[in-house]
Structure 1
Amino acid sequence: MSKKNVFDRLYIGIEDIMGSTVLYNSKGEYSVIFEIENVVEQYSADINAYYAFSDVMTSVIRLLGEGYALQKQDIFCKQKYEHEYSNMPFLSQAYFRFFNGREYTELKTYLIVTQEKPKKGFFNYDKKKFKDFHLKIAKLKDFLSGNGIKVRKLNEEEIKEYIYRYISFSFEKGKFTFNNFSVSDNDIKIGGKHLRCISLMDVGESNLPNTIKPYREEKIKGNDIASDILGFLSAVPGADCILYNQAIFIPSQRVEKARLSRKRNRHASVPDPANDAAKEDIDAVLDDIERNGKLLVYLHCNLIVSSSKDLDNSCNYIESQLDKSSIRISKSAYNQLELFQCAAPGCAYYTNEEYDRFLTLNDAAACFLYKEKISGSEDTPLKMYYTNRAGIPKAIDITGKEGKVKLTDNSNFFSLGPSGSGKSFHMNSVCRQLYEQNTDIIMVDTGNSYEGLCSYVGGKYISYTEEKPITMNPFKITQEEDNIEKREFLKNLIILIWKGSDGTVSKAESKIIRMVISQYYASYFGGNKSVSEKLRDYRKSLRETVTDYDEELSEEEIEKLVEEERENITATHEVVEELNFNSFYEFAMKRIPCIVKEKKVKFDIEDFSFVMDDFYKGGVFERTLNDDMDKSLFDEKFIVFEIDAIKENPILFPIVTLIIMDLFIQKMRLKKNRKALIIEEAWKAIASDLMADYIKYLCAPVKVAS
C-alpha cells in the first residue's frame, strides 16, 4: 500500500449482524464499538473507585480471553457551551446568555473489542469463531452494565461518523471537513491543525515505573489526593483535542509462558548480577500467574495531541506531568503515520509487535486505562444550575432524591457562612430556580433580602407595620382540615399566647384546652349528623392522619381519641356560628368552667382570661387572630414573611412563626407538588424552642417500614 493511499484500504466494510454492528478492517479483523462512561468522578479523590474500575477492566480482559484486543479511546476535545434559552423566563435567559460560547473540555470514551485474525495464511470465515465473538460481546455488555458502567453499542451511522472524525481529527460539535494530510518525523498536519503522536512506552528502554497503581497521588495543601495517572489531560494548555489510545492484546498464554521460560533459562545460563535479577523477576511473574490466575498481555498506549497554537508547549506539559508518575515518553516516535493509523478505531493490531507493544500482566495493564469522567449535568427532573470547575453551568439535584441516582430521602440543607459571604445571594438564585420548576415556596425573611425576587415572580410579600400588621385567622378551617394535627397546632397556639414561649403548662391544663378546641369544632361542624355519624367520620380521619415523624396512630390510640370526641360532642350545647379567635374565646370562657367543675381539676381561668383579652375584641392585638390574612394564601406559590420588625417582640414573633409553621404543614400535607421552606437568618429562628422543635420535626428522616 503506497503512502499516497494509506487510508484507502483501512477498512473494508460495516455490517449489521447478530444484533451488533461489526466493523471490518483491511486485514479481516472485525470489531464492535461501545460508547461507555468512566465511573470515577473527577476530583473525587476516591481511591477505592480507582481500584474498583481497574478490577472491572481486569475482569473484562479475562472475560475476552486469548485472541482479542481491547482498545479504549478517551477523547478530550474543546467545545463551545450552548444552551437553548429562548423560551425561558427573563433571568434564566440572562444567565445562559452569559455562558453561551464559553470554552470547556468534553470527554467521550469508546471501548472497541477486536477479534484477531490468524497470523499466517489467508483470512477464512469461521462460523463458530464468529458466533463466539458475538456471545462475548453480549457478555461484555451485560458485565459492564452490571458493574455500574453506562454502555451502548454504536450503530452504522455512528461508527462512520466516528471514523470520519478520527481521520479528519475533528471531534468538535457540528460539521467537519477533510483536508490535506502531511506527515513528517515529528508531527502530522491536517489542514491548519498540527498533530503529534506520543508513545508512552519504548520497549528498548526501561521508561516505565517498577510498580504501578491505578491512580497517582498529588499533594494539595499538604494532603495526598488521588487522581488518575493521566488526569491532567483535561487541562493541557494550548491543546484543542487529545486522544488517549489504549490497546491491550491478549495472546496465547501457553506460548507466552513458554517464551518467558526460555528467556529465564538463557539468563540463568550465564551467571551475572543483571541476569540473576532478570531471572528473579521472571520467576516472580510466572509465580504470580500460577498463584493468582493472572494473564500475560501486551500493552500499547499513545497520545494524539492536536493544537492550532503551540504544539511544542502542550507536548512539553504532557511530558512533565507523565514524569511525575515515572513514565518517560518514547524519544524515538518517528513513526507518526504508523502510530496514527494503529490508533484508528478497530485497527489496534496494526501496531508494530517489535517496538510498540509492552509485555505485562492484565492488572498492571488496566492501571494505564483512563478511569475518570468529567462531571456533567445530572439526569434529574429538578435542574438547579451551578457552574463547574470549567466555569460552565451544570445541572444538579439539590434534593438528592429526585434524580435518576437517589442519594437520600431527606432533602434538607443549610447554607453557612460569615456576613457578606453571599448566602442570601445564593438562596435568591436557588429560590428563583425552584419557583420556575413548580415549587411552592414559603420564606421567613429578615432584612428584605427577598423583596426584589418576590416582586419579580409576582409573589406575596407580607411585612409587619403598625398601620398594616400581619393578621391571620388560624381558626377558620374547612371540615377536611379538621384533624388531630390541626387541633394540636391550635392548642400550642393558645398555650403560647397564654404562657409565652418560656412558660410551662400542666398536663391537666393542656388537656382542657385540647378538649375545648375539639368541642368548639364539634359544635361548628355538628350540622344534622347523628353522634354515630360524626364519630364514624372522625375515626376515619384519624386513620388517615399521621403524627410527628410520619408515624400512624395505633388502634388503641384512635379509640381513646374517639371516646374523647364522644364526650366533646355530647357535652357541646353552645352554637358556634363563625370561626375566629373571638368566637373561640367566648366559647372557651363558657366551656372551661363546666369542664373544671365536671372533672374536678384546677385551671386558672382568671389568668387565662386576662392574658387572652389582648387578642379579643377591643384588645391591643385584636386583628392579629381575627382578620383573614389572605383567602388565596394556600394557593399562592411564592410567599415571603418579612419579620424584621417583630423579631424582638416576645408576643408577636412566636405567634407569627407558629402561623407560618401551620401554613407550610397544610401545604405539605394537602398539595401534591414540591414545597420548600426557607428560613433566612435561621439562628434567630432556632433561638425559639418552638421553632427549633418545628425545624427538627421537618428535618427528621422518614421511617421506612421493614
Structure 2
Amino acid sequence: MKNTRRVTTLESKFPLMAVEDGYIISKDADLTATFRVDLPEIYTITAAEYEIIHAAWVKAINVLPDYSVIHKQDWYLEQKYKVDFEKEMTSLERSSELFFNERPFIHHECYLYVTKTTKQRSRMQSNFSTLCRGNIIPKEVNKESFIQFRECVEQFQKILNDSGFIRLERLTEEELIGTGQVVGLIEKYLSLSSKAAWLEDIELCADHVRVGDKTACLFTLSNLDDLPSHVSTDIADRKYTTDQSSCSLSFGANLGLLLGCNHIYNQYIFVDSSAEILRNLEKSARTMLSLSRYSRENQINCEWIDLYLNEAHSKGFTAIRSSANVLAWTESDIKLKRIKNEIGSQITAMGCKPRHNTIDVATLFWAGIPGNSGDFPAEESFYTFMEQAVCLFSNETSYNSSLSPFGIKMCDRDGSPLHIDLWDSPMKRGIISNRNMFVVGGSGSGKSFFMNHLVRQYWEQGVHIVLVDVGNSYKGLCDLINQKTEGRDGIYYTYSDEAPIAFNPFYVEDRMFDIEKKESIKALIMTLWKKDSEPATRSEEVVLSNAISEYINKIKKDETLLPSFNGFYEFVNTDYKAVLARKNIREKDFDIFNFLNVLEPYYKGGNFDFLLNSTEKIDLLHKRFVVFEVDSIKDHPILFPVVTLIIMETFINKMRRLQGVKKMIVIEEAWKALMNRGMEEYIKYLYKTVRKFYGAVATVTQEIDDIISSPIVKESIINNSDCKILLDQKKYLNKFYSIQKLLGLSEKEKAQVLSVNMAKRPGQYKEVFIDLGGTRSAVYATEVSDEEYLCYTTEETEKMQVHRLAQQLGGNIELAIKQLARERREAAK
C-alpha cells in the first residue's frame, strides 16, 4: 500500500531565520519587532477610556510605514491555582489555600508583533505560503528601510506607552527563543503550551490542526458579509449594567476573557499603500458600473464601493486590510464540540456570523507564528478603515496580583484568587498619600465579614491591630488567636456590670516611661479634665506634666507601689498639693480643687473608679490583636466617649513607640462617640499623623444618614482616607447621589459600586468595591473556606453552634471549627 501522507521536518519549512538586535528576521527578509503588552484590568475601564485607548492605537499605527503588519496575539490559557504546601501557614490560611487548590482560571498574556514586509509579500495568497514552497530564497535586507522602520517602531511604542492605559515592553531574545530552563514564545506557539519541554508532531490539515494530543479548531472574521454594519470601541456588559450605570467592555472582549477555554485571539491590521488601495477600488467601481446593467449585484457593489471611497476622501480615513481569528484547542473530542459551540455563541453575541474555517486552517496557523505574519493569506482579509479595524481588538486583561509580599488574598469577579496590596505598593507608587480606610456597607452586606478577612491576614503578617467593635463581630477570630498563642495575644475586652472594661494608663511592663508615654498619659487626663470646657492653658499643661513626671519618679523609686490612677490622684491631693503651695502656684494658673473635683468620679469610690485602675498587669503595647467590645455601653453618654478615648490613647502609644512596625486601628460604629467638639481636633490629629508612623485608621459604618450629616466625618475622616471601600449599596439607591458626592466618586466608580453582587455567585462570596486615591478602583470578591466562614460569621445561631461544640471539645475552638466545616462540606455534597 502506497503511503500518500506528506511528511516533512519542521526545519525545512520553518519560516524564521534569526533573532538579531531584538528583531525576528524571517527567511523572506521580513523584520518583526515583538512586544509584551500590559492592558487595563477588565471591568475597570469606562466607555470614554475605551475611546482614548482606541485613539492611541489608531495614532500609533498611523506612524508605521506602508506594508507593515500589526499582529496582536492574545493568549488565554486554562490554569489551576497551585498551593505551596512547604510554606508555614496558620490553620485558617491553610484552609483557604486548600479551598482554592486546583481551582481553574484563565491566564491572559498579550503580545504584539510589528512586521515590515514588502508589497509583493502583502499580496501573497495561501497557495504561496512558505508551507507550499519547496525552498525559501532569502532577500537582501535594505539597511535604510531597516533604520526607518526601527525609528517608526520606537515612535509607535512611545505613543502607546504615553496613552496611560497600555504599556509595551520589548521581548528579549531569551523570551522569544527560550533557554534550557524557560520555554520561548515561538516554541510555546508551536506546541500550544507554556510548559512544553519538547516539540510534538504537528499535523496540518485543511479543517484542523493537531499538535501532539491537542486538536485545534479555527474561527475567522475575514469576510465583510460576516461582520455587523456598525462596530464600536466598547459594548455594555449586561451582567453588570443597571438603570443608573453601565459597565463597559471592549468590542472584542467576547473572544477574549469571556471565552472560557484554551485559545488564541489573533488580530491583524495590514497597512498597505492607502492611495493604491483607493485607486484599485476606483477601477473596480468603474468596472462594476459599466457592467451594472447586466447584474444588479454589480450595481449594489458599485454603490458600496462609492460609499467607502466617499468616506475615505471626505474624512481622511486610512484604507487598510484587516482580519481576526480564534484558534482554540483541547485534548478531548467531546470538549472540542462544546468549544466550537461556545465560540460560535460569542461571535454571534458580537453581532457577527460565526465562520468555522475548514479551508485555510493550516495556513492561518502557520501565519500566526510570531514574526511570520508576512505569510498571512491575502484572501483571508477584508478592506476597511483603521478606526473600524481597531475596534476588533480586545483591550482588557484579567486582574493582576500585586508583586508586593504584603497584602490580602481576594478574588476577581470570576472567582480566581489573587493577591492585592492596600498598604505598601500604593504608597510607593504615589497612588495614595495615606493608608487610612473608610468602609461603608449596609447591614448584611458583608462589611464585618470583609474586615475579619482583612485583619486576620494583616495579623498573620505581623501588623499590630486594635479594634473598637460594636456587635461582637470579631469575637470568634480573637478567641482563636488567643488560643493559638496560648493567651499571649488575642486580648478581648468587653463591658459588663460584673466585669467592666478597665485600664491602667500608668502600667508599663518594663517601667520605662519615655516621653511619648508621659505625653499619652497627659493627653488622656487633660481630655478627661477639660472634656466639655475651654482648652487648657499653657500653665495648666506645664503643671500637669510636672505632676505626672513626679508621680512616675515616685513609683520608679519604690517598686512596692502599684501604679494606677488612684495612686496618681492621691499623689496630687497630698504630695503635689504641697509642692504647688511651696511654689506659690496661683489658682488661676492651676485650679487644683477643680482638677480633683472633675476627676473624682474616676477615683476609688466614684461612679467610674473601675475605668483607670485595672489590677491586670497587661501591657497592650506588645499585644498584636486587641479587641474592645463596647456594644453594651454604646449609648452611655459618659462611659462610651471616655472608654473610646482611652482606647485611642492605647493605639497612639503603640503608634509612637513601635517604630518600623505596621499598626492599625479599626473603629466600627464607635466613631459616633467621636462626633463632638471636644474630640474633633483629636480625631484630626490621629488621621493626619498616623501615616507618619507606618500606621492606618479604618473607620467602618453602615448608617448612611450619619455620614451625610456629620461635618466631622467629612472633614476629619473621609478627606483623610485615601482607601475607600464600599459594599452592597442597593438599599441606598435613592440616597446614592449624596453618597457619591460626599465620597467624591466619579461616574465610573459609581457604576462599579452599583454593579457589586450583581453576578449572584453561590457560596461564601460577597463583592466589595475598593478605591485607592481616586485613581485606581476595582470590584473584588471576598470568598472564603468553610473554616474561615465559621470563624468570621456574625449569625448568632452559627456562633453559638461553634461555641457549644468547642465546650464539648474541651474549649478547643480550632478543632470545633474544623469539625463543623467538615460537616458543612459533607452536607453540601
Q: TM-score, normalization: structure 2?
A: 0.68
- Output the amino acid matched with 1:129: S
- Would you say 1:471 and 2:472 are equivalent positions? no
- Would you say 1:459 and 2:494 are equivalent positions? no
Contact 2:37/2:167 (<8 A) preserved: yes
Contact 2:540/2:590 (<8 A) preserved: no
Contact 2:219/2:355 (<8 A) preserved: yes
Alignment of 1:282-681 (within 5 A): 282-289=309-316, 294-307=317-330, 308=332, 309-330=334-355, 333-353=358-378, 355-399=379-423, 402=426, 405-417=429-441, 419=443, 422-446=446-470, 447=472, 448-455=475-482, 456-457=484-485, 458-463=488-493, 464=495, 466=498, 470-474=502-506, 478=513, 480-481=515-516, 487-496=522-531, 504-506=532-534, 513-514=540-541, 516-521=543-548, 580-586=568-574, 598=586, 609-610=596-597, 612-616=599-603, 619=606, 621-622=608-609, 624-626=611-613, 630=617, 632-644=619-631, 646-647=633-634, 650-670=637-657, 671-681=659-669
Larger radius of gyration between Structure 1 and Structure 2: 1
Contact 1:69/1:348 (<8 A) preserved: yes
- Would you say 1:206 and 2:234 are equivalent positions? no
1:349 shift after superposition: 1.8
CA shift digits 1:134-181 (9 cap, x unpaired): 33344444444333433332233322322222222224xx34554444
Task: Give the structure 2 partner of residue 230 of structure 1.
Answer: 252
Task: Give the structure 2 partner of residue 5 of structure 1.
Answer: 8
1:589 shift after superposition: 5.7
Task: Give the structure 1 partner of residue 167 of structure 2.
Answer: 150
Q: Secondary structure at the match of 1:349?
A: helix
Hey, what's the Cα distance between the residues in 2 that align with 1:45 and 1:467? 53
In structure 2, the CA distance between the partners of 1:5 and 1:586, relative to structure 1 (3 Å rule), is: farther
Q: Secondary structure at the match of 1:206?
A: helix
In structure 2, the CA distance between the partners of 1:483 and 1:525, relative to structure 1 (3 Å rule), is: closer
In structure 2, the CA distance between the partners of 1:467 and 1:405, relative to structure 1 (3 Å rule), is: closer
Hey, what's the Cα distance between the residues in 1 that align with 2:446 and 2:382? 54
Task: Give the structure 1 partner of residue 58 of structure 2.
Answer: 58
1:492 shift after superposition: 0.7
Contact 1:267/1:276 (<8 A) preserved: no
How many residue pairs match? The answer is: 633
In structure 2, the CA distance between the partners of 1:595 and 1:655, relative to structure 1 (3 Å rule), is: farther
In structure 2, the CA distance between the partners of 1:374 and 1:407, relative to structure 1 (3 Å rule), is: same
Contact 1:74/1:107 (<8 A) preserved: yes
Q: Secondary structure at the match of 1:230?
A: helix
1:221 shift after superposition: 4.6
1:78 shift after superposition: 0.5
In structure 2, the CA distance between the partners of 1:650 and 1:330, relative to structure 1 (3 Å rule), is: closer
Alignment of 1:159-308 (within 5 A): 159-160=176-177, 161-171=184-194, 174-175=195-196, 177-202=198-223, 206-219=225-238, 220-222=241-243, 224-234=246-256, 240-266=261-287, 274=300, 275-276=302-303, 278-289=305-316, 294-307=317-330, 308=332
1:493 shift after superposition: 1.9
Task: Give the structure 2 partner of residue 535 of structure 1.
Answer: none
1:74 shift after superposition: 0.4
1:412 shift after superposition: 3.0
In structure 2, the CA distance between the partners of 1:182 and 1:401, relative to structure 1 (3 Å rule), is: closer
In structure 2, the CA distance between the partners of 1:472 and 1:279, relative to structure 1 (3 Å rule), is: same
In structure 2, the CA distance between the partners of 1:334 and 1:440, relative to structure 1 (3 Å rule), is: same
The share of aligned pairs that are identical, in percent, is: 24
Task: Give the structure 1 partner of residue 142 of structure 2.
Answer: 126
- Would you say 1:87 and 2:49 are equivalent positions? no
- Output the amino acid matched with 2:57: M
1:396 shift after superposition: 1.3
Hey, what's the Cα distance between the residues in 2 that align with 1:595 and 1:419? 59
In structure 2, the CA distance between the partners of 1:475 and 1:196, relative to structure 1 (3 Å rule), is: closer
In structure 2, the CA distance between the partners of 1:401 and 1:23, relative to structure 1 (3 Å rule), is: closer
Hey, what's the Cα distance between the residues in 2 that align with 1:612 and 1:426? 40
In structure 2, the CA distance between the partners of 1:218 and 1:421, relative to structure 1 (3 Å rule), is: closer
Contact 1:445/1:681 (<8 A) preserved: yes
Hey, what's the Cα distance between the residues in 2 that align with 1:489 and 1:346? 71
Contact 2:404/2:424 (<8 A) preserved: no
Contact 1:491/1:510 (<8 A) preserved: no
Q: Secondary structure at the match of 1:408?
A: coil
Runs of at least 5 residues in structure 2 that lack an aligned partner in the other structure: 122-136, 178-183, 294-298, 555-564, 688-716, 723-829
Contact 1:581/1:625 (<8 A) preserved: no
1:610 shift after superposition: 4.8
In structure 2, the CA distance between the partners of 1:281 and 1:147, relative to structure 1 (3 Å rule), is: closer
Hey, what's the Cα distance between the residues in 1 that align with 2:290 and 2:573? 109
Task: Give the structure 2 partner of residue 109 of structure 1.
Answer: 110
1:3 shift after superposition: 5.3
- Output the amino acid matched with 1:315: K
Contact 1:11/1:25 (<8 A) preserved: no
In structure 2, the CA distance between the partners of 1:401 and 1:6, relative to structure 1 (3 Å rule), is: closer
Contact 2:469/2:668 (<8 A) preserved: yes
1:108 shift after superposition: 0.8
In structure 2, the CA distance between the partners of 1:327 and 1:591, relative to structure 1 (3 Å rule), is: farther
1:246 shift after superposition: 1.1
Q: TM-score, normalization: structure 1?
A: 0.78
1:305 shift after superposition: 1.4
Task: Give the structure 2 partner of residue 17 of structure 1.
Answer: 20
CA shift digits 1:642-688 (9 cap, x unpaired): 43555455544333221111121232234332211113444665577
In structure 2, the CA distance between the partners of 1:600 and 1:470, relative to structure 1 (3 Å rule), is: closer
Contact 1:117/1:123 (<8 A) preserved: no
In structure 2, the CA distance between the partners of 1:249 and 1:521, relative to structure 1 (3 Å rule), is: same
1:700 shift after superposition: 6.2
1:638 shift after superposition: 2.1
Runs of at least 5 residues in structure 1 that lack an aligned partner in the other structure: 497-503, 528-576
